[in-house]
Structure 1
Amino acid sequence: MPWNETVTMQRLEFILACQAGEKSMTELCCLHGISRKTGYKWLNRFNPHELSSLENIPRTRHTQPAKIPPDIAGRLILFRQQHPDWGPKKIRHWFLNNNADFIVPAASTIGDLLKDAGMVQPRMRRKRTPGNLRDLTMPVRNNHVWSADFKGRFRLKDGSWCRPFTLTDNHSRYLLSCEPGTSETTVFVRSCMEKAFLEGGLPDVIRTDNGSPFVAPGILALTQLSVWLIKLGVQPERTTPGCPGQNARHERMHLSLKTAMSHHDVFGSLSEQQAWCSGWRNEFNQEKPHEAHGQQPPAKIWMPSPRKWDGRVPAVNYPAGAKLYKVGEKGDLSLNGRMFLSGALRGEYVRFLEVDDGVDVILFDRMILAYYDRAEKRIIRID
């Protein structure tokens, strides 16, 4: 007798014995060398009209996973070649958003296709870093917090260095600026920001890291750039040194930019690199779906800021009768002796406002710079 028939007959004997009711379930299970759980499983599965109900149920798949037709697979692979920094989810939702003329496969199926085609690199495991210990502004709306940074540097074919400057809106992920330059200077960054402000209005906060030209010696690491921003009503904000994760949304965009650039040949001049960056920025904003916004591209979410800018830098206005001090040419104040404040504030006026007995708060515009202890005649830093 075949093995399957033997097993089936043994199970049938067990079922018939159970139905006879002469012995308990525990006794019958012991006699047949099975657990009570298995015994009840056989009882529940048994169908008197189908003896096959007592056979083992194979665990192999009853259906084969759907295969992508060759013509559609070719289109998906070609699209990935054109967008090397896009993952399966982004590719799938791009076709859905653009009314594809075929049934778009699941993201997992597209991922398997790309993996089989050798177009997916395994992820490197990274150690987790401690969380941020400083309070940074949490973006809750468009133009609440923008992030600015440089994306490394590399040489063009003409031998010159290229340092792309980038500026993004943290809420919508909209890329406001992607400008290749030759140096990381205040003049270059300000020109990029001026262009973005004229096109998109003013944000509330601009977040940067602690590299040049975003920091300088002195109170709050103020620079000429940050003083200019304060005058425009934009609060400069810096991440903790060595904690790029505090600017994770901007860094993620940089990863996409790096991946896209790695699939293109080095350009011969800055103008050629600029043309490529402009095209990539348009694709990132107008086409690339983003998971945080229901797979919609950033352009569907972002709107210009209601705080329009006319290109002028307003003067700092203090209330009449305010106690003011002018910052010297060396960035110092004359307070019972010369005390260094910030070279970026040279020629500017700061306000002293009493907030406690013997303690003044030092303000530039509406931004608190430090405190001054009149009794001890010293500046108390807060950074």
Structure 2
Amino acid sequence: MFVEYDSGNWSVSELCRRYGICRDTFYEWRGRRETGDPAWFVERSHAPKQCWQTTDADIAKKVIAARRRFPYMGPRKLLRVLESKAAGIAWPAASTIGDILKRAGLVEPVKRRRRALDQGRPCTAVTGPNDEWSTDFKGWFRTLDQQRIDPLTVVDSHSRFLIEVRIVAPTTEGVRPCFERAFREYGLPRAIRCDNGSPFGSRGAAGLTKLSVWWTKLGIAPHFIHPASPQENGRHERMHRTLKKQTSAPPARNARDQQARFDNFRRHYNEERPHEALGQQPPAQAYTASLRAMPERAKDPWYDADHRVRRVRGSGEVKWKGEFVFIGEALVNELVGIAELETGDHVVRFCDLDVGLINRNGMFTRFAPPREGLREPGEHPA
């Protein structure tokens, strides 16, 4: 086009009409050529040089500084923290904060995963603090000195308050002192949600162990999830993912340093970290201790007059109609009540739990834990 223009045989209007461009475009390109730039003909970006919506540089620096201080918080949580520290500043939206962090290289790309279908079994509804706690062991790992670490975690299901993160042995003897401290400090919950593995649950009568028997005597109902169904304790599993990322990747030098990390995480999680399910409030603002104080000792259960009371022997058996009937090792030295049914069979109860059935032939059949919506129809009593 410019060769023809330089020949002088064509006017600007004729050239623009011939090549389908406007006169302004022609003069723009002619001006570039006259600058002498050897790359004057290269296509340039159409992005505006300046945008009035650009976030102020000082605010962007404060956002980046907050992210460096709390590297595990996303844009929404960072916005909540910034607003609490300086409410008078017009902070950008969470989406804009995310863009600022991306430009600063502070966001790691996450591989998208196909979401699994919801099976429609939500966690037990809770209406207030201490209606239900949840507990589990985060997967074990080794510190740098090759010592095995088994972190026990306890969370209030309503407020998401992290009650305990403690390195203990995964046994009843290792776990019980941890719960004793929690009960004395925060009071007794109405229920504790847990899985079916030791030391919480078993394959015995009603899924009980020595630990869950102790809970039951204290008036705490054990809520066992379905076997191999960690999604039924999804709140707890989600907390474990955050705990692992912030405290054990990589692990500490030894168990003492690892426990110090857990203690710092618990304080940060409860008092500083905004929680999505709480409207971006930290759990400590939603939690209050239970009014049910822990007694000095757990009392033996009381049964109605139509029950025959037996104490389970050291072998796990009770004496029944001249014969020894095995009930379960978890109930050793505990009082059970035996009541007759209309069928002629006898139901065995511990506190308010039905743990099994003694038929007319003296054979004991254990009951599975009472679970809402059992998938296995043969698990619950007839």
What TM-score do you get using the length of structure 2 for normalisation? 0.76
Q: Is the 1:359–1:372 contact (alpha carbons within 8 Å) kept by the matching residues of 2?
A: yes
Seen in structure 2, the aligned counterparts of structure 1 residues 302 and 81 have a Cα distance that, compared at 3 Å, is same
Q: Is the 2:207–2:368 contact (alpha carbons within 8 Å) kept by the matching residues of 1?
A: no
Inter-partner Cα distance in structure 1 for 2:84 and 2:71: 19
Match of 1:237 among 223, 227, 230: 223
Inter-partner Cα distance in structure 1 for 2:93 and 2:352: 52
Q: Is the 1:132–1:246 contact (alpha carbons within 8 Å) kept by the matching residues of 2?
A: no
Tell me whether 1:200 sits opposite 2:186 in the alignment: yes
Partner of 1:298: 283
Inter-partner Cα distance in structure 2 for 1:382 and 1:239: 12
Inter-partner Cα distance in structure 2 for 1:193 and 1:380: 27
Partner of 1:120: 108
Partner of 1:346: 332
SS at match of 2:247: helix
Alpha-carbon shift at residue 170 of structure 1 (Å): 0.6
Alpha-carbon shift at residue 233 of structure 1 (Å): 0.5
Alpha-carbon shift at residue 382 of structure 1 (Å): 4.1
In structure 2, give the amino acid aligned to 1:85: Y
Partner of 1:266: 251
Seen in structure 2, the aligned counterparts of structure 1 residues 333 and 376 have a Cα distance that, compared at 3 Å, is closer
Inter-partner Cα distance in structure 1 for 2:305 and 2:52: 77
SS at match of 1:356: coil
Inter-partner Cα distance in structure 2 for 1:99 and 1:75: 11
What pairs with 1:17-166 in structure 2 (closer than 5 Å)?
Answer: 64=51, 66-100=53-87, 102-116=89-103, 117-129=105-117, 131=119, 137-166=124-153
Higher alpha-carbon deviation: 199-208 or 267-276: 267-276
Match of 1:186 among 153, 159, 172: 172
In structure 2, give the amino acid aligned to 1:155: R
Match of 1:283 among 262, 265, 268: 268
Seen in structure 2, the aligned counterparts of structure 1 residues 371 and 151 have a Cα distance that, compared at 3 Å, is same
Structure 1 gaps, min length 5: 7-59
In structure 2, give the amino acid aligned to 1:214: F
Q: Deviations over 1:224-271 (max 9, x none)?
A: 1001101110011111122111111111111111121256x5322322
RMSD: 3.0
Aligned length: 328
Q: Is the 1:324–1:350 contact (alpha carbons within 8 Å) kept by the matching residues of 2?
A: yes
Seen in structure 2, the aligned counterparts of structure 1 residues 226 and 380 have a Cα distance that, compared at 3 Å, is closer
Structure 2 gaps, min length 5: 1-12, 21-46, 370-382
Match of 1:215 among 183, 201, 204: 201
SS at match of 2:150: strand
In structure 2, give the amino acid aligned to 1:361: V
Higher alpha-carbon deviation: 203-212 or 223-232: 203-212
Q: Is the 2:310–2:336 contact (alpha carbons within 8 Å) kept by the matching residues of 1?
A: yes
What TM-score do you get using the length of structure 1 for normalisation? 0.76
SS at match of 1:251: helix
Alpha-carbon shift at residue 214 of structure 1 (Å): 1.5
SS at match of 2:268: helix
Alpha-carbon shift at residue 377 of structure 1 (Å): 4.7
Alpha-carbon shift at residue 341 of structure 1 (Å): 2.1
Inter-partner Cα distance in structure 1 for 2:111 and 2:325: 52
Q: Is the 1:185–1:213 contact (alpha carbons within 8 Å) kept by the matching residues of 2?
A: yes
Alpha-carbon shift at residue 120 of structure 1 (Å): 3.0
Identity %: 36
Higher alpha-carbon deviation: 91-100 or 72-81: 72-81
Q: Is the 1:218–1:340 contact (alpha carbons within 8 Å) kept by the matching residues of 2?
A: no
Q: Is the 2:355–2:368 contact (alpha carbons within 8 Å) kept by the matching residues of 1?
A: yes
Seen in structure 2, the aligned counterparts of structure 1 residues 73 and 312 have a Cα distance that, compared at 3 Å, is farther
Q: Deviations over 1:279-338 (max 9, x none)?
A: 111111111112222211111111101111144322323345731122232223344644
Q: Is the 2:132–2:190 contact (alpha carbons within 8 Å) kept by the matching residues of 1?
A: yes
Alpha-carbon shift at residue 65 of structure 1 (Å): 7.5
Inter-partner Cα distance in structure 2 for 1:113 and 1:376: 73
Q: Is the 1:145–1:204 contact (alpha carbons within 8 Å) kept by the matching residues of 2?
A: yes
